Structure 1
């Protein structure tokens, strides 16, 4: 266990202790510091305090940093498709069929298992089962994800998701022919009252907004681009079903008679965010998987 000592500066007068402490090291998150305070690992003038303690100039902070908890996840060499990586952030193109993080029934072969083998420095904000994971995409959705390699990056990337400044564009094939070129779905999403394993548009659900643009129309299907303004569980799948155009191949929200594809035809193709350290906007684009391209070719021939 490491110990850090710090003297509060004049300009930090009346600032909360958790904020002052988090500012000592840019890789410490405020949430992490609050946990340390609750555990009695942060003292002011040799006395434990609460997170809302207002600092005074000259206060002596003593922070006992706990040793990192070992991650009980098996590292697996999964030959990840890494699009970008530096000391703070990693962008990976997840294939269809891969689960993002371990859970009961999926303890191996997940993206996190692969990340553990690829790099040892992942943020710990989401706990031992989801190191580095800032946001998720479903098992059968392919595409780009950003991963935080330290808590500073994690906190700043999550804040961008909260502030709705992250660019997330998806390509999808949906049932039916959408007559209008563009649209916005603004409908709250929560647990389906009839099926707790599914999500649905429900009264009192969480605010959810999806924008869509028609790229191409086929005989019985439409190829669309969806832009997320919010990031709710199964958002695109639920919203497109809600307006009567469920995703092709979707085993949970779509019809049984559909295209020959294992899971929903959904690809997270564009991801853009502000780098947590440099402040530079970065944007990445992953091409459609071959299976997705073959479906489009088939639909085009049948038009």
Structure 2
């Protein structure tokens, strides 16, 4: 797969470009369905499957106060799109100047003249251009005028729910990671580097934890989760706590994971945590002993959840794992 940094850097024409356009944050099942359509169409015409996406997210430029916390980093998004077999990804730099391009100019100057699009696949709720004045109907009209085909895709349904990046963000922010996984088509994951922590898990509670520093924007809500953990390419079970450790009256946020059946040094390593299910909210206990008892109960429950999960699920982690 070829990644083009800016459409202006597309040096030569592509054979029969079949294109889709979007932010594709999370690369959920709805996005994946469109990618398959684009790829299949390109193959029928010995053409090129193309994804046009934006960096940063347009709202970071247009309305920073409304910009969402993203489900995937830029690097993750590119790897996931690549894993589906797309031939070319064009990463367009979204600036204020780009945002001011009228919809018709975007279609004629960029999609038709620059890219030479032959077929375009978009969702029925796709709007674009200055003031979001561009619509599927406008695209169809311009396609007829300039000789390219526009395919408007109806909403994809998963268990009667339409996957959307915003909807999945809401689920994760509420801790409903199991519901989010259904719409993503994989477990939601967060990667981080293990850093020094307070060492209470090992020294006081006798449950060593890896304290993670992450660049990911969106973590699930505070609480305890059954997870899987990738370390050096190997997958382990785990228990993750997110929050402020209220029993110790911490004011510092922490994201820490106890890795089951692991003995070794983790400091400085990169871990990827895959969220399976939230088991409880954070709780404040009257003393450390009661907290320790609860942690042991949590680990018992998590082992059962992981056992059931392994029985009932084909392993679906992130595409780049």
Greater helix proportion: 2
Task: Decide: shared fold, TM above 0.5.
Answer: no
For CA contacts below 8 A with separation 6 or more, give which structure has more relative contact order. 2
- TM (norm. structure 1) is 0.30
